[in-house]
């Protein structure tokens, strides 16, 4: 059974809703500015901070980031009782340095309180970082296949602009600083997508054809030789599920930021899978505009895909999306318009 992606919502450093964020990303606009955090070289760390009304911190800030994105999706759902819609809320992985307390057991309640509503009892918090949205997609498919929910919302919220997080990643030479050019720009965002059953042609921006997962042993901080086994496994599984070949896909959207490791990984994966001549196989990496947004990346990427399909600037009908966690989890999805 196919899943339809009907609507999206986004709160990013370059737009406080999905249309604004997607338009800025299409134009290649970013909002990278000096943060209040200083690196070991005495320079301010560049980041991608959302311009909220107040300088909220902690879980309150995450609530303020994600609830407007969820509201965008609820508006698209129409007059449906929210108690019938499961919310799958994606947050940072449990091993993330500087991870906020209460993400697993309190954030969901705080989001519902901020919205003033209750979601379906099948709602859950998914702590899988950048691949969490694909894990949520698999759960959403199961929930909708049971036939007892009309829609499902996948939301993701994350922030790397936390002192403990930046300090740990700087120590590992992972974040972009005055002393390290091979690093990512920390960001924050909230994003959500509304999913429905089947291919709702009159409403859907995209449909999900296939999902795949893999595990990479040669992780970004490992000294093992990289062969991209995990990403190859995830992409092949998604293609098998979708019943398509790589040569049939038109472009890619990924979570790659500024680290060379992930560019090398995707290049290796393509060289192992793509056996037919393909003149163009462009890939979009929205982190160039919104920074590293962790668990918010999958719903952000899906929002970009449906915007591109609806507004006619997509590079074709079929898109491959793939994502990677630092700990080795890999996930891929194939969408069609």
Q: Of all residues in the chain, what percent carry a pLDDT higher than 90?
A: 89
- The torsion region of residue 17 among left (phi > 0), alpha (psi -120 to 50) and beta comes to beta
Give CATH 3.40.47.10 domain extents, the chain: 3-197, 206-336
Per-residue confidence (pLDDT) for residue 276, from 0 to 100:
81
Over residues 298-304, mean pLDDT: 97
Q: What is the pTM of this model?
A: 0.95
- pLDDT tens sequence across 39-63: 999 999 999 999 999 999 999 999 9
Per-residue confidence (pLDDT) for residue 148, from 0 to 100:
79
Per-residue confidence (pLDDT) for residue 274, from 0 to 100:
87
Over residues 33-44, mean pLDDT: 94
CATH code reported for the domain at 206-336: 3.40.47.10
Round the average pLDDT of the chain to a whole number and report it. 94
Nearest by Cα to 70 from 126, 11, 127: 11
| Higher-pLDDT residue of 2, 129 | 129
**CB-based contacts of 177: which residues, under 8 Å, 6+ apart?**
39, 40, 41, 43, 45, 170, 183
- pLDDT tens sequence across 162-203: 999 999 999 999 999 999 999 999 999 999 999 998 755 455
Q: Which CATH class is domain 3-197?
A: alpha beta
């Amino acid at each position: 059974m196919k899943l339809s992606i009907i609507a999206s919502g986004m709160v990013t450093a370059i737009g406080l809703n999905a249309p604004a964020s997607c338009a800025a990303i299409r134009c290649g606009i970013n909002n990278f500015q000096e943060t209040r955090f200083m690196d070991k070289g005495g320079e301010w760390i560049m980041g991608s901070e959302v311009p909220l009304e107040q300088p909220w911190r902690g879980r309150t800030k995450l609530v303020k980031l994600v609830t407007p994105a969820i509201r965008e999706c609820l508006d698209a759902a129409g007059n449906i009782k929210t108690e019938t819609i499961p919310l799958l809320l994606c947050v940072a992985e449990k091993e993330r340095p500087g991870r906020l307390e209460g993400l697993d057991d309190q954030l969901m309640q705080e989001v519902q309180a901020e919205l003033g509503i209750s979601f379906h009892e099948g709602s859950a918090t998914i702590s899988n970082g950048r691949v969490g949205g694909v894990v949520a997609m698999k759960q959403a498919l199961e929930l909708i296949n049971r036939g007892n929910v009309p829609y499902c919302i996948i939301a993701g919220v994350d922030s790397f602009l936390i002192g403990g997080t930046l300090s740990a990643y700087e120590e590992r030479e992972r974040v972009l600083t005055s002393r390290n050019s091979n690093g990512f720009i920390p960001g924050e965002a909230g994003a959500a997508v509304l999913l429905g059953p089947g291919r709702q042609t009159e409403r859907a921006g995209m449909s999900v054809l296939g999902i795949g997962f893999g595990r990479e042993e040669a992780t970004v901080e490992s000294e093992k030789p990289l062969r991209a086994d995990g990403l190859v496994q995830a992409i092949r599984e998604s293609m098998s599920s979708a019943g398509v070949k790589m040569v049939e896909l038109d472009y890619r959207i990924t979570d790659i930021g500024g680290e060379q490791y992930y560019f090398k990984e995707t290049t290796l994966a393509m060289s192992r899978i793509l056996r037919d001549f393909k003149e163009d196989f462009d890939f979009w990496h929205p982190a160039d505009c919104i920074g590293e947004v962790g668990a918010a990346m999958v719903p952000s990427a899906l929002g970009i895909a449906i915007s591109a399909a609806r507004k006619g600037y997509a590079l074709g009908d079929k898109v491959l999306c793939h994502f990677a966690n630092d700990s080795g989890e890999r996930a891929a999805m194939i969408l069609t318009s």
